[in-house]
Structure 1
């Protein structure tokens, strides 16, 4: 028997390995081509941390790019975290839009990582002309001079940042139509101007001696500054929900409320109302706890699923709570 015949019978030869290698090379080539096609044909992606800014960004972007919002409806921006998949999405975006000023406390490190990897990021709060906390004005103890991250409660500041977000999208998301982005931003800015006018008219119903606010935590400083209210305190004496009040904090707040004649506490609907209820007990009843949507949008159809609807719902609830109507 010849050597060639012996190799054939033993299954030793070069034809099969060559065939296998050729097949593997073809598979790798096909996978690479598919990946390149997907990347080339995929739509640009913008990732936004909070759902309030996500709603505004979607209004500006329209159909020009995909907008991924990380924060779920009814979540607390101070405490929500990211899955591994969401963290990876940040580094795959062309632009990351985030609140900043310490708001997304569990997410900012992922935003930093995306920036370090070369992703464009935009801290909206820093560009909004932030106010600072002042203890003398009822602000949180220990946070004197620190920036207040809750700028969206002032619709005029949202009007300002609408144009700034549009600038960032046009600069960093190369495939969008700048004219369409500008047109969307201008249209939305007009709606924000209408919102401001409506809020001014609505708050005009609240008498001067009823324009004092007590909230679940310090979140309405911008609204108070814009529309002429006074924040006399908060159940959680901080700009973040991660803090908690002491007995002396609650006692000081009840004394301030008694002095100002305030019998209404506004509590965010996404946070437990237990502390507000404790305050009501401390004051012997007669205190109303009114729910607001101050830091998160609701699920679709639940009354505050867009920024505009959230602000109108909050304004109506505040006017009712302060006037007793």
Structure 2
């Protein structure tokens, strides 16, 4: 089960609203905590919005608290929504962990309602030194896709541990810290592996075209150039115009890019239309950039997702 993210001295990273919690006894989900405070009428457990953050949180929390993850496998974080029961569970959490920076467009109002009801909220994106989009309709806005950079994902692990220790009654600090240290080591290994794979690519092959602006953090960390995106936005809810597709096709042709990367949870039709528009033989390579898969999929954990994407990008651009 997934969980949280730690506090840093940035923006809204971690806060507890002053308003008292609403009495939602009839709606609170029953649960059993291991080594934690009992449920009853008090706040309990950790609720996480996205499944990627849920996986990081689960690794840190272990058996120290109940973790509820709202976003199902293979979903789109920009558009998924929650039920009334899930919204009530958010308001009764000891700690609400969310990505923030505009990612969870469909549950933002529920996050705000939970914080107003008194739940402690951790906006992880604010805690890991976010960057801004540099082009498209979202230029100048914060980019929420920090997890494509394993270095920032490791920072998120630390933030999660801090938040759990501070906010979750009964969680054993030594166990939480040990879990975080162990998992952070695994994430740092991911970074070293990615740096080695990408270092083998010549400069003219370090160019990315994606279905929307999702790999800005990866590009910054590993010295890639983002040629453009089929959807010139940081959200999958936006749509490109015919002139957008033509402009990108021209850029792809000029840059001689061998592949376009499309998220596996979204149709790649637009990417193929753009490739046809360019009049070139361009491979459309699926990546797991926005969501984990179910257990029987290729990316059921953050570690597996990142390794898969690293290999797919390196292999496609090396051709």
Q: Aligning the two structures, in what range does the TM-score lie when normalised by the shorter sequence?
A: 0.7 to 0.9
Give, in whole Å, the separation in 2 of the partners of 1:308 and 1:302: 13
Give, in whole Å, the separation in 1 of the partners of 2:212 and 2:46: 31
**CA 36–317 in structure 1, closer or farther in 2 if over 3 Å, else same:** closer
**CA 38–223 in structure 1, closer or farther in 2 if over 3 Å, else same:** closer
Deviations 1:77-135 (A, max 9, x none): 00001111111110111100000000000101101101001100000001110000112
Over aligned residues, Cα RMSD in angstroms?
1.9
Give, in whole Å, the separation in 2 of the partners of 1:149 and 1:183: 28
**Counterparts of 1:123-202 in structure 2 under 5 Å?**
123-135=123-135, 140=136, 142-202=137-197
**CA 95–270 in structure 1, closer or farther in 2 if over 3 Å, else same:** same
**CA 286–111 in structure 1, closer or farther in 2 if over 3 Å, else same:** same
User: Residue 164 of structure 1 aligns to a residue in which SS?
Assistant: helix
User: Mind listing any 5+ residue stretches in structure 2 that lack a counterpart?
Assistant: 1-25
Give, in whole Å, the separation in 1 of the partners of 2:313 and 2:117: 44
Q: Which consecutive aligned stretches of 4+ in structure 1 deviate over 6 angstroms post-superposition? A: 35-40
Give the structure with higher Rg (CA): 1
Could you say which structure has the greater relative contact order, defined with CA pairs below 8 angstroms and 6 or more residues apart? 2
Give, in whole Å, the separation in 1 of the partners of 2:108 and 2:162: 22
Corresponding residue for residue 99 of structure 1? 99
- State the shift of 1:204 in Å: 1.6
Give, in whole Å, the separation in 2 of the partners of 1:38 and 1:234: 45
Give, in whole Å, the separation in 2 of the partners of 1:38 and 1:213: 46
Corresponding residue for residue 293 of structure 1? 288
Is 1:252 the counterpart of 2:247? The answer is yes
User: Residue 64 of structure 1 aligns to a residue in which SS?
Assistant: coil
Corresponding residue for residue 52 of structure 1? 52
Q: How many residues align?
A: 286
- State the shift of 1:284 in Å: 2.4
Counterpart contact for 2:48–2:70, Cα < 8 Å? yes
User: Mind listing any 5+ residue stretches in structure 1 that lack a counterpart?
Assistant: 1-31
Give, in whole Å, the separation in 1 of the partners of 2:32 and 2:117: 21
**Counterparts of 1:1-325 in structure 2 under 5 Å?**
41-42=38-39, 44-135=44-135, 140=136, 142-324=137-319
Kindly indicate which of the two structures has a greater share of residues assigned to helix. 1
